[in-house]
Amino acid sequence: MKSLDALSPEQIERKLRLATSAFQTHLRTRFANRVRMMLCAAEILEKEKDEYTRLMTLEVGKTLRSAAAEAVKCASRCRYDAEYESSQ
């Protein structure tokens, strides 16, 4: 497992502001575009599963099997959410 340096309070505040801004932008994003982005995220997760597996193993200490299963589960959830939003 890899150790990371703690963020300063200023760095944390900046990241929170960026996250809030991104969320506000997402709320104004057209519905069809949000669905498209979720499907794109699923494709990326599936295509780059090995890389995400490696990252989760390094950063969180998950086993390879557990990390790979989580990448697949996240891709599946993205597809589910896109399909659910499309049906509303």
Average pLDDT score over the chain? 93
How many folded domains does the chain comprise? 1
Q: Is 76 contained in some domain?
A: yes
CA 7-56-23 angle, 5° bins? 60
Q: Is 53 contained in some domain?
A: yes
pTM: 0.75
Q: Is 11 contained in some domain?
A: no
* Averaged pLDDT, 69-83: 95
**Is the model's pLDDT at 48 over the cut of 70?**
yes
Please give the Cα distance from 66 to 57 (Å, whole number): 9
Tell me what pLDDT residue 86 has. 77
Tokens of 59: 């950063």
Q: Which domain holds residue 39?
A: 31-87
Within 8 A by CB and 6+ apart from 11, the residues are none
Lowest mean pLDDT among 3-7, 41-45, 46-50: 3-7
